[in-house]
């Protein structure tokens, strides 16, 4: 498949549109100051293309290593990804730490992008990296491998909270409908119930940082530019 998949217009979501104009570092700082420190995915999860930004509502899937015993969890149907990833979503796949093969590749990426999924984020490996980069489809994963994981792993649950590795060994819980922002610095998750507050305070921080940058360009010292433009006094606790 050589041509990029056609894109579908993102679902009309004003909060996502506002979040997309921010930087992950700004949102991370505001989440910390608001008392929500466990929000950033581990730097061991890396983008296939760090130049691609994305924002959307989380759609969640969970899987596990294949197990043929009597009490194995039943697998979801083959089209579980497309059924879960609505237009405008960021598909989050928790693998349970699986590293025995790729859980998605070029055909999956093409299909997801075609129906309007904004990005794919997982703690497992993926494959067909060059093909996916050619589509301009953002993928964040633990590794790249040529090995097909379909014989070794399967999807078992959809539309429920999942956990991915976070900073310092912690886990980040992501629920369907939470907001997800990714850029060259990483991926942050904003709980849906605090999204309006966090985004508004991050927008204020963006304006403050623009003022700091202007002061530095005008010759002010960094210490003075920060004194004149307090960065976090406006951030409200959750």
DSSP string, 35-87: T----BB-TTSEES-TT--EEEEEEEEEEEE---STTPPPPPPTTHHHHH--T
Instruction: Tell me the backbone φ, ψ of residue 234, rounded to 5 degrees.
Output: -85, -10
- Contact between 64 and 153 under an 8 Å Cβ cutoff? The reply is yes
Q: Which domains does the chain have, with CATH numbers?
A: 38-191 (3.50.30.40)
Average pLDDT, the chain: 90
Exposure class string for 90-106: b at 16+ Cβ within 10 A, else e: bbbbbbeebbbbbbbbb
Query: Residue 167 and residue 151: Cα distance in Å, rounded?
Result: 31
User: 3-state DSSP call for residue 153?
Assistant: strand
Check: pTM over 0.85? Answer yes or no. Answer: yes
Q: pLDDT per residue over 173-210, tens digit each?
A: 999 999 999 999 999 999 999 999 999 999 999 999 99
Task: Please say whether the beta carbons of 140 and 43 come within 8 A.
Answer: no
pLDDT in tens, 95-105: 999 999 999 99
Beta strand pairing call for 119-122 and 139-141: parallel
> pLDDT class for 82, splitting at 50, 70, 90?
confident
């Amino acid at each position: 498949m050589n041509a990029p998949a056609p894109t579908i217009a993102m679902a009309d979501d004003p909060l996502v549109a506002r979040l997309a104009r921010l930087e992950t570092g700004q949102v991370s700082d505001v989440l910390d100051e608001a008392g929500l420190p466990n929000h950033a995915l581990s730097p061991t999860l890396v983008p296939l293309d760090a130049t691609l930004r994305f924002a959307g509502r989380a759609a969640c899937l969970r899987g596990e290593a294949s197990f043929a015993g009597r009490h194995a969890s039943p697998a979801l149907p083959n089209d579980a990804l497309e059924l879960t990833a609505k237009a405008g979503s960021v598909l989050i796949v928790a693998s349970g730490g699986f590293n025995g093969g790729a859980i998605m590749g070029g055909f999956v990426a093409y299909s997801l992008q075609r129906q309007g999924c904004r990005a794919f984020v997982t703690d497992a490996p993926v494959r067909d990296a060059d093909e996916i980069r050619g589509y301009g489809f953002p993928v964040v994963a633990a590794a790249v491998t040529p090995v097909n994981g379909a014989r070794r792993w399967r999807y078992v649950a959809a539309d429920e909270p999942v956990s991915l590795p976070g900073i310092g060994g912690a886990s980040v819980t992501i629920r369907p409908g939470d907001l997800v922002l990714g850029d060259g610095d990483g991926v942050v998750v904003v709980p849906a119930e605090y999204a309006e507050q966090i985004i508004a305070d991050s927008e204020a921080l963006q304006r403050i940082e623009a003022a700091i940058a202007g002061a530095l360009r005008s010759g002010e010292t960094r210490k003075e530019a920060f004194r004149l433009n307090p960065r976090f006094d406006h951030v409200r606790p959750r």
